[in-house]
Amino acid sequence: MLAATASTVWADVYLKDELIDFNRDAAAGGKGTLQGQFAFRRDAAKRDEAIKEIGWMTLQPGASIGFHRHEHNEDTYIIVSGTGLFTDSDGKSYQVTAGDVTIARKGQSHALANIGKEPLVFIDVIAEQ
């Protein structure tokens, strides 16, 4: 991580070659492997920082993240490429593609599956107040 200053403004920069690889098999009871490359993970976030985890995620065709609830945080998926099926708290499903954004707020549930023939790539941001 690099820290840059301009007057009193700070910014964190996480270079692609320095991201942390972390893969999860059967994430939240899903299928296949959720491949992740993180700037930082929850255990490294400071208490007063709202963003607790951020990373590039990939689900291969047929892979999924199972339906799960966010008790203490919010989870945002920003779809970069591929085709997915996002399921919300009410069980309603939406086809998602590049440019779509999904948010599971505190107390809500969600799931995501790759329903296409190409990898589903998305940015995952976990935040907590």
Q: For the chain, which domains are there?
A: 19-127 (2.60.120.10)
Kindly give, in sequence order, each residue whose CB lies less than 8 Å from that of residue 16, ignoring residues fewer than 6 positions away.
Answer: 37
33's enclosing H/E stretch is strand 33-40
pLDDT average per 10 residues of sequence, the chain (129 residues): 57 95 98 97 90 97 98 98 98 98 98 98 96
How high is the pLDDT of residue 21? 97
Can you give the pLDDT at residue 8? Answer: 62
Query: Which pLDDT score, from 0 to 100, does residue 126 have?
Result: 98
Q: DSSP 3-state helix, strand, coil percentages of the chain (rounded to 5)?
A: 5, 55, 40
